[in-house]
Structure 1
Amino acid sequence: MKIKAERPVAIIKPEVLSIHGQTRIDNYYWMNERENPEVINYLNAENSYFEEMTKHIKSLQEELFLEMKARIKEDDSSVPYFYNGYYYITRFEKDKDYPIHSRKKGSLEAVEEIMFDCNEMAEGHTFFHLRGINVSEDNQWAAYGVDIVSRREYIIYIKNLFTGETLDTTIEKTTGSSVWASDNEILFYSRKDEVTLRADKIYKHKLHDKEINDILVFFEEDETYNTFIYKEKSKKFLVIGSESTLTSEYRILEANNPNGDFRIFQPRVRGLEYSITHYDSQFYVMTNKDDAYNFKLMHVGEEKTEMQHWKELIAHSDKTLLEGIDVFSNYLVVSERRNGLPRIKIQPWDSSVESYYLPFESETYTAYTGANVDFETEILRYAYQSLKTPSSVIDFNMRTGEQIVMKEQVVLGAFNKDNYVEERIWAKAKDGVEVPISLVYKKGLLKDGNNPLLLYGYGAYGATMEAYFSSIRLSLLDRGFIYAIAHVRGGEDLGRDWYEDGKLFNKKNTFQDFIDCSKYVIEQKYTSSSHLYAEGGSAGGLLMGVIANEAPELYNGLIVQVPFVDVITTMLDDTIPLTTGEYDEWGNPNEKEFYEYIASYSPYDNVKKSNYPNMYVTTGLHDSQVQYWEPAKWVAKLREFKTNDTLLLFEINMDTGHGGASGRFESLKEVAKEYAFLLDLEGIRK
């Protein structure tokens, strides 16, 4: 259905940008002036246009929202976990958007203590997010971070859990994370730079110090690094971490000596990555030392911790990625990934007892260890789900092999997982590499090329795209859609080399992989170009921008969320959050070779006179990760250049940032808009 409305037209104000003897003309550079009334007027005009162009599907949006909400058990709660004398629980109440965090002393039959009712705390705010709840070892004090702007700048507050009083103390410009020393008096936390929002400083705060004369403990001067602090599971050490894309460094201090000096565990060496876990006078070190690109596990004593003292415990494997460990008094639990699938290995410390893997049968699943905070237990808590199987939290007895499903995600209504089919197929990329695709669809579907298919992609930062279950997604599947995930290079889905082969000067592999996956599902008659849709956000939005330029004929529509599409301009501006820390991901365009490579694919710089697919683009005015002006400029340029009459819709949430709406039901409304956009293009109106 074609709706006629006046398209917004952005003012052209040419800005000349020159570097390396090359010049770009940016007609929409002025849009980065957040407080400029002209900018706000343009964004409001785009929102008005979006409302006008979608008013005919408002009822469909509402129907989808109610349908998705109806599948959710509203009065739900997490599986309690026991820590330091208390059971901790997160629960939701009917018709409420936000969680309630509570605890019970000693027994699940004990009186519930409400720590934080986020519904009450969120009143009066269009956005609310609480994170980093951190309880002191004496169980009296809780530090926590709150963001009411959606810019990921948190104010830390401190609450007395015994009296319910929240102190007047407010610590601003933080990540929201903090940790108590063993004395229950000193609180360590990380603070962000006011301009770049880089977490660059660790401070310590003394309880009841209202003046906030906090002491700077560590300053990470290198602008390509972020810093953070945590306490080891053993409670013996405080750890300050510094990490860039390629390099890590840690500092340690006994938690009972908060006024002491942190000492470097292993000095940073360019390209050396490591992480540490402490238990029983030993540190366990997961590292890529000695070209172990898929990582190996080593161990070392508490005193001499430099890498020349590390001893190998689990060797490097070319085919298996080591992703993490959980340490127990009698077991080491190893999380791995092989052939694109997660594996959990139980390895007794007693060498006379054989190690084994938890058995998983599906090829489209994800499994991961959960909150395992107790050393002295033989119970491993892990979670399992697949594209058609709701998430389960399972307690597994590592000695007997017995397992108990503690909770299975409830899907209300007539859901039956046996009504759906999940598959993993492999597409051959242009350079001969095989790329996995995970799919799910309703049983009985015919592969005749007439099915609508939504293909999701990301492909950056080594982030693995797991095959997870979504009750929300059923609204597409039940209307005949196939949902698929393209596990393209740039993620770590098939190991660390899968990531390395999709970044820097290999970045174009990510885009080509997705295009080849798209061609493959068409060739195999899962769908056709008139029914194929693609979706991606942030770095996945960059992916969407590239395929829109390079292969627009393959897609009927794109959903492009908070897209990173103005790569050159952003990566040349070191005042923008994240820029300096991402030179190792995208390259530094201050160097000519990187500039030319990035310029050859940057979506904004490569918009051309061409036919483009239907597009629905979203952003948030307060986004700190991908600034709103990137999609705003891109959409304006697309309006200027595109030669066909397909839909180009741009919606700006004027109250939120990178993650969208904060309430669990408000976020469903955003998904309902995306699904309605797809269904309308398919002529499905209910």
Structure 2
Amino acid sequence: MTIKALRRALLCLLSGVAAAASVGAQSVPTQPARSALSTTELAPPQAERRPKDVSVHGDARIDDYFWLREGDKPDVLQHLNAESAYSAAWFKPLAAQQEMLYQELVGRIKQADEAVPVREGAWWYSSRTLAGAQYPQHIRRPAQGRQRGFDASAPEQILLDLNELAKGRKFLALGGLQVSPDAKLLAYSIDETGALDFELKLRDLASGEDLAWAQKNVSGFAWAADKRSIFYLTHNAAKRSNKLWRHRLNATGPDALIYEDADELFNLQLSRSADGRYLQLLSSSKDSSELRLLPSDRPLGNWLTVLPRRAGQEYSVEHRDGQLYVLINDRGPNFRLVRTPLKGLPLSATRLSQAQELLAHREDAMLEELTMFKRQLVLQVREAGAVKLRVYGLATEPSIDFKPQELKFEQSVYTANSGGRLLNREYDSEYLRLNFQSMTTPASVYDYDFASKRLMLRKVQPVLGGFDPQRYESKRIWSVAKDGTRVPVSLVYAKDLRRGGPQPLLLQAYGSYGVSSDPRFSSVGLSLLNRGVILAIAHVRGGGDLGRRWYLEGKLAKKMNTFTDFIGASEALIEQGYTSPQQLIITGGSAGGLLMGAVVNLRPDLFKAVVAEVPFVDVINTMLDETLPLTTEEFIEWGNPKIAEQYAWMRAYSPYDNLKAGVYPAMLLRTGLNDSQVPYWEPAKYVAKLRTLKAAADQSPLLFDINMSAGHGGASGRFDALRERAKVYTFMLQQWGLLGGAAP
């Protein structure tokens, strides 16, 4: 896994909106949300104003709280501790309800559980959790017989026990793990701070001991086929993955620097082709890519460029029998699929134009991902806001109109994906391993048999506590944005608690980087659903929910569409009787936190409360500081504020810069002190400024919750993460007036 992959994950929070029960044809009014702080005399912290001129382009901007960036200064830590104390005091009267919620969440998970094993070579690999343990173990068992079958009773080997590694540490995250081609060594990387500072280590699987060699600041790695060489990527101080290195086992000299990408817009990613014959080095920005290939059995050879980088051109490749299968956007943003001989790299423009086109570009369907097998290829296609998986047979040479077998699922609102090489590790396979879930169906693992064309269910993630999927209903509605664009909204609710009329509702969205907010199951969300809350997702522009154009229509100069789409979705839910402004809570994280800050500035009257997790709210100041992680490479996402026109785009919506005096919804902002992607000072400054602007009559809480030992993703242990979620739900339920008893 790479840092960029972690970034693009960027914190998907809950999958939905919640609705409270109604009686007859009338909605049940929620109780007035009394301040939990009424029992304490602790006053909200007031940060000292220290004006700093941050004006650019003649636009006068004075930042009173710029000093909060200096996290190593005693006065900054004193202020953060004061904010933490204030938040803790607010929650203290609710401790019993919070503990009850936590026990609910824990009670739904099967603590001792194991993932569906995946075969690779002579082994079956899996991960499992133990009762009471915070972290998983990664294990393997030998394959049995000529058919390399799985036997759960076969002797197991623990490759990595994260619980052992976590001892004495407040935080632990696994960046990735990969077994060497001879299955004797394990490469793995861990982060002990939450700041994405991963250290790569090698473990002898026979002895269980780590080798002496280790490397810090690693963002990705891959073994070569010679069993002696491992390539890895490192990042610079701004967390940009920019260098490729080669390490040789037992070598006495320093590791070899193979490649350095000097372009500040680009990050490196490292992977292998499906057949294992080539290593792939991808240089990618937000709108361009360039790929290099190296024969995996020749680690000392030269990396060959497939297509030189060109602004706006993105592509990915797979190899099969001397042919490259290329997904490329050269004829439209939704990509097409072509096939061309591998020899003679780099490909010229002429060769690309003459390549056999297997699937042409379509305006109504985006080709998202290709998974290659020896006799089949599988495409993940996004069409009409839904994900489709299509299998194409390659037993004979494909023609231009080769026909797919589409996998059929009974539900209309769902998400499905092949899991790429993580779940499909064998090139010569008889089946496709895939994931499926919906807002009413827990995460499920299927195998699709290529020969019989049958889907075979391998596992549905257990949900304890009497969960019955038939109790819930999910659907998709459509809202209309300010410019007339139809925007989908997915929602789920408990059918027996939905009797018409407005109910408490939790609306979530993300809307950046082309990341899709696909409908997913949330076992923790049942604590809201079972109290009559409706969960909803607004599939706003800026995300990839309806294809590449959906993303392009919500970035740079068109970023305001993301915010007006969300407001339109909120209004549609109100107009269609699902909720009311007094019952609508909204949530988003990271770039979704930017969305929260922007829409609250635009329409503070529309929402009851807001939960913003690790929110990107100080847009202009952050994008002016090129020493920070993500800044320069994200000029293509947000714009460069040093350019007057692009500054104007951001000035129109930057949450910190557009705060004004008035009445605001109740707000809970959460952050991690070690967050390297959205630094703690962004929400710290936002809260400090907003405290001075809330109207005297505005008694709604403004809380800043800080995890002092975590980063962008919050607590790393599963039970610690559930405690954080219980805290967030306590805030929400208090605002809805739904605290006070167990869920029905």
Q: TM-score, normalised by structure 2?
A: 0.90
CA contact (8 A) 1:447 1:527 kept: no
The 5-angstrom pairing of residues 128-139 of structure 1 reads 128-139=172-183
Residue 198 (structure 2) aligned to one of 150, 154, 160 = 154
**Alpha-carbon distance in 2 for matches of 1:411, 1:651:** 29
The 5-angstrom pairing of residues 487-498 of structure 1 reads 487-498=539-550
- 1:19 Cα deviation (Å)? 2.1
Q: Report the equivalent of 1:502.
A: 554
Q: List gaps (5 residues or longer) in structure 2.
A: 1-33, 145-150
Residue 346 (structure 1) aligned to one of 363, 369, 391 = 391
**Alpha-carbon distance in 1 for matches of 2:513, 2:502:** 35
Q: Report the equivalent of 2:719.
A: 665
CA contact (8 A) 2:137 2:161 kept: yes
- 1:164 Cα deviation (Å)? 1.4
- 1:598 Cα deviation (Å)? 0.5
CA contact (8 A) 2:274 2:372 kept: no
Question: Aligned pair 1:358/2:358, yes or no?
Answer: no
**Alpha-carbon distance in 1 for matches of 2:524, 2:92:** 22
CA contact (8 A) 2:171 2:710 kept: yes
2:601 is paired with a residue whose SS is helix
* 1:432-457 deviation line (CA, Å, top 9, x unaligned): 11000000000134464431000001
CA contact (8 A) 1:169 1:208 kept: no
Question: Aligned pair 1:106/2:160, yes or no?
Answer: no
**Alpha-carbon distance in 2 for matches of 1:449, 1:24:** 45
**Alpha-carbon distance in 1 for matches of 2:721, 2:63:** 34
Q: Report the equivalent of 2:281.
A: 240
CA contact (8 A) 2:274 2:373 kept: no
Question: Aligned pair 1:681/2:735, yes or no?
Answer: yes
The 5-angstrom pairing of residues 244-643 of structure 1 reads 244-290=285-331, 292-305=332-345, 306=347, 307-310=349-352, 311=355, 312-349=357-394, 350=396, 354-370=403-419, 371-446=423-498, 448-643=500-695
* 1:549-571 deviation line (CA, Å, top 9, x unaligned): 11111111000000000000000
Question: Aligned pair 1:82/2:119, yes or no?
Answer: yes
CA contact (8 A) 1:562 1:617 kept: yes
CA contact (8 A) 1:202 1:228 kept: no
Deviates more, 1:554-563 or 1:357-366: 357-366
* 1:30-74 deviation line (CA, Å, top 9, x unaligned): 011010111111000000000111111111111111111111011
CA contact (8 A) 2:108 2:464 kept: yes
Residue 191 (structure 1) aligned to one of 231, 234, 241 = 234
1:285 is paired with a residue whose SS is strand
Output the amino acid matched with 1:240: L
Percent of aligned positions that are identical: 42
2:496 is paired with a residue whose SS is coil
- 1:17 Cα deviation (Å)? 1.3
Output the amino acid matched with 2:445: V
**Alpha-carbon distance in 2 for matches of 1:165, 1:257:** 28
CA contact (8 A) 2:620 2:647 kept: yes
**Alpha-carbon distance in 1 for matches of 2:403, 2:548:** 28
**Alpha-carbon distance in 1 for matches of 2:190, 2:256:** 22
2:571 is paired with a residue whose SS is helix
Deviates more, 1:548-557 or 1:108-117: 108-117
Output the amino acid matched with 1:130: L
Residue 162 (structure 2) aligned to one of 111, 118, 125 = 118
- 1:210 Cα deviation (Å)? 7.0
Question: Aligned pair 1:208/2:250, yes or no?
Answer: yes
CA contact (8 A) 2:554 2:562 kept: yes
Larger relative contact order (Cα-Cα within 8 Å, sequence gap ≥ 6):
2
**Alpha-carbon distance in 2 for matches of 1:558, 1:471:** 21
* 1:490-549 deviation line (CA, Å, top 9, x unaligned): 001011110000000000000000001001101111010100000000000000001111
- 1:390 Cα deviation (Å)? 1.2
**Alpha-carbon distance in 1 for matches of 2:82, 2:252:** 46
**Alpha-carbon distance in 2 for matches of 1:447, 1:284:** 52
- 1:105 Cα deviation (Å)? 1.7
**Alpha-carbon distance in 1 for matches of 2:389, 2:456:** 17
* 1:441-480 deviation line (CA, Å, top 9, x unaligned): 0013446443100000110000000100111100000001
**Alpha-carbon distance in 2 for matches of 1:679, 1:18:** 41
**Alpha-carbon distance in 2 for matches of 1:575, 1:354:** 50
* 1:600-632 deviation line (CA, Å, top 9, x unaligned): 110000000011000010001100110110000
CA contact (8 A) 2:328 2:337 kept: yes
2:211 is paired with a residue whose SS is coil
- 1:89 Cα deviation (Å)? 0.8
Deviates more, 1:342-351 or 1:61-70: 342-351
**Alpha-carbon distance in 1 for matches of 2:499, 2:571:** 15
Equivalenced residues, count: 682
**Alpha-carbon distance in 1 for matches of 2:199, 2:429:** 36
Q: Report the equivalent of 1:219.
A: 260
- 1:681 Cα deviation (Å)? 1.1
Aligned-residue CA RMSD (Å): 1.3
- 1:667 Cα deviation (Å)? 0.5
**Taking structure 1 as reference, are residues 515 and 560 closer, same or farther at Cα in structure 2, changes over 3 Å only?**
same
Q: Report the equivalent of 1:62.
A: 99
Question: Aligned pair 1:173/2:210, yes or no?
Answer: no
- 1:354 Cα deviation (Å)? 4.8
**Alpha-carbon distance in 2 for matches of 1:538, 1:325:** 28
- 1:110 Cα deviation (Å)? 2.5
Output the amino acid matched with 1:197: K
CA contact (8 A) 2:108 2:465 kept: yes
**Alpha-carbon distance in 1 for matches of 2:235, 2:65:** 29
Residue 145 (structure 1) aligned to one of 189, 196, 202 = 189
**Alpha-carbon distance in 2 for matches of 1:448, 1:114:** 53
* 1:405-456 deviation line (CA, Å, top 9, x unaligned): 1111111111100001111000011111100000000013446443100000
1:94 is paired with a residue whose SS is coil
CA contact (8 A) 1:447 1:525 kept: no
- 1:259 Cα deviation (Å)? 1.2
- 1:298 Cα deviation (Å)? 1.1
CA contact (8 A) 1:169 1:210 kept: no
**Alpha-carbon distance in 2 for matches of 1:631, 1:384:** 35
* 1:619-649 deviation line (CA, Å, top 9, x unaligned): 0110011011000000000101111111101
* 1:187-242 deviation line (CA, Å, top 9, x unaligned): 1100010x21111101111213477x111111010001001222212111111110
